[in-house]
């Protein structure tokens, strides 16, 4: 049932182009974003004063990406919370708040509890869910399904990618309704969206190079992932992927925050993975990379084609194709998933079923 792949995780990584296309295709009609399941009138969308995205683990990383996109495009303030924290902090929300709960399984106990708490307080709850008919799908006011298909590996890949797409669609929809996205901008974004599946496929096909590189780092003790803005969100996901399946300690940091403490952990040979997909932040990122490199770090960079300037501050560079800056997460995550995967394979770990973890966490 692994379809010739060695692990479910690899198979599911390879299913990402399809998961991405299946999630956006039914929601694009005649050059417009149409999300019928949203069940909200234009007036109701204009009435949203605040969005709260609540989720756990990788799904919460989608929330951090979503915050940048929703705020950037639709100019609606967004808060992101880990579901396990949300319920105990007496959150401020009312009927003008849209709570978005994100969950692959639709059964995560903390996320479900956060959903119930939100409804009790009068907010509208939208679920971004992968498993059809799951508890979260049943209890949310509205459900936008990610059409990734069943995901078996504990480490999420294709569901995560489909969740990102859902965030893009929502942000574009809200921006359209609020008159913040012109027809030309929409058309160009849709073109970039439609190009993603083939671009993801191309990045997946670079797996041998990433495997070779990963094999040099099988004994790594600590790995730091750094990025700014939306690239910080993807760094969190890259870091979680690595630690959960390879058992190598890793952390994600907002690149500018590193020198407020964590940089003291960088020593000769420490691997630092830098993600820089946002042009206006290239220079700042390169100087952060130089900071760690002068302290002996080995720097791996993920950046957009054409940013060859990065080569002076990195030891190993992976280029991703040009896309809309808001969509770059969908491409940058692919080499990071492959890197985590091959490190785990090289270390002989149980990739699909890492120790101490369950596919869905149904206890609080």
Find, among 99, 119, 115, the residue nearest to 107 by Cα. Answer: 115
Residue number with the shortest CB distance to ligand M6R?
57
Contacts (CB under 6 A) with ligand M6R, residues 212-241: 240
Cα–Cα dist 12/125, whole Å: 29
The residue among 298 and 342 lying less far from ligand M6R, judged by its C-beta, is 342
Residue 297 and residue 271 in contact, taking contact as beta carbons nearer than 8 Å? yes
x-marked contacts with ligand M6R along 52-91 as a string, rule CB under 6 A = ----xxxx--------------------------------
Helix (H, G, I), strand (E, B) or coil at 33: strand
Q: Least CB distance from residue 241 to ligand M6R, whole Å? A: 6
| Catalytic-residue membership of 359 | yes
Q: How far apart are CA 362 and CA 4, in angstroms?
A: 31
Shortest distance, position 2 Cβ to ligand M6R, whole Å: 18
The yes or no reply on residue 155 touching ligand M6R (CB under 6 A) is: yes
Phi first, then psi, for residue 343 (nearest 5°) are -65, -45
Cβ of residue 253: shortest distance to ligand M6R, in angstroms?
Answer: 19
Give me the phi and psi of 308, to 5 degrees please.
-70, -15
Report the candidate in 174, 170, 166, 165 with the shortest Cα–Cα distance to residue 74. Answer: 174
Q: Binding to ligand M6R by residue 108, rule CB under 6 A?
A: yes
- 3-state class of 252 per DSSP? strand
Residue 84 or 278 having the CB closest to ligand M6R: 84
Helix (H, G, I), strand (E, B) or coil at 231: helix
165 scored as a contact of ligand M6R (CB under 6 A): no
Residue 156 CB, nearest approach to ligand M6R (Å): 4
Among the listed residues 248, 231, 228, the one whose alpha carbon sits nearest the alpha carbon of residue 339: 248
> In this chain, which stretch among 116-124, 154-162, 202-210, 317-325 interacts with ligand M6R, using CB under 6 A?
154-162
Q: Which residues are catalytic?
A: 359
Chain residues that interact with ligand M6R, rule: CB under 6 A: 56-59, 103-105, 108, 111, 154-156, 240, 244, 360-361
């Amino acid at each position: 049932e692994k379809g010739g792949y060695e692990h479910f995780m690899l198979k599911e990584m390879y299913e990402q182009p399809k998961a991405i296309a299946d999630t956006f295709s039914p929601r694009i009609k005649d050059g417009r974003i149409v999300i019928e399941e949203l069940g909200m009138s234009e007036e109701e969308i204009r009435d949203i004063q605040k969005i709260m995205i609540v989720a756990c683990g990788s799904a919460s990383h989608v929330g951090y990406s979503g915050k940048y996109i929703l705020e950037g495009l639709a100019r609606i303030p967004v808060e992101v919370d880990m579901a396990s924290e949300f319920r105990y902090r007496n959150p401020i929300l009312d009927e003008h708040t849209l709570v978005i709960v994100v969950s692959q399984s639709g059964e995560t106990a903390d996320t479900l509890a956060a959903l119930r708490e939100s409804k009790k307080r009068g907010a509208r709850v939208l679920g971004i869910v992968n498993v059809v008919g799951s508890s979260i799908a049943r209890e949310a006011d509205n459900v936008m399904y990610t059409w990734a298909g069943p995901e078996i590996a504990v480490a999420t890949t294709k569901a995560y990618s489909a969740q990102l797409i859902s965030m893009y669609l929502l942000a574009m929809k809200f921006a359209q309704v609020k008159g913040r996205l012109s027809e030309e901008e929409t058309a160009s974004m849709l073109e970039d969206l439609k190009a993603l599946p083939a671009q993801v496929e191309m990045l997946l096909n670079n797996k041998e190079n990433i495997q070779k590189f990963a094999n040099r780092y099988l004994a790594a003790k600590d790995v730091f992932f750094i990025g700014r803005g939306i690239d910080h969100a993807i760094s969190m996901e890259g870091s979680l992927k690595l630690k959960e399946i390879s058992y190598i300690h890793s952390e994600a940091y907002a690149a500018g925050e590193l020198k407020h403490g964590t940089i003291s952990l960088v020593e000769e040979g420490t691997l630092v993975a830098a993600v820089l997909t946002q042009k206006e932040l290239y220079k700042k990122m390169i100087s952060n990379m130089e900071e760690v490199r002068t302290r002996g770090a080995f720097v791996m960079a993920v950046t957009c084609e054409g940013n060859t300037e990065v080569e002076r501050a990195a030891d190993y560079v992976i280029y991703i194709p040009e896309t809309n800056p808001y969509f770059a997460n969908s491409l940058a995550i692919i080499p990071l998933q492959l890197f985590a995967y091959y490190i785990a394979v090289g270390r002989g770990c149980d990739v699909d079923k890492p120790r101490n973890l369950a596919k869905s966490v149904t206890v609080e």
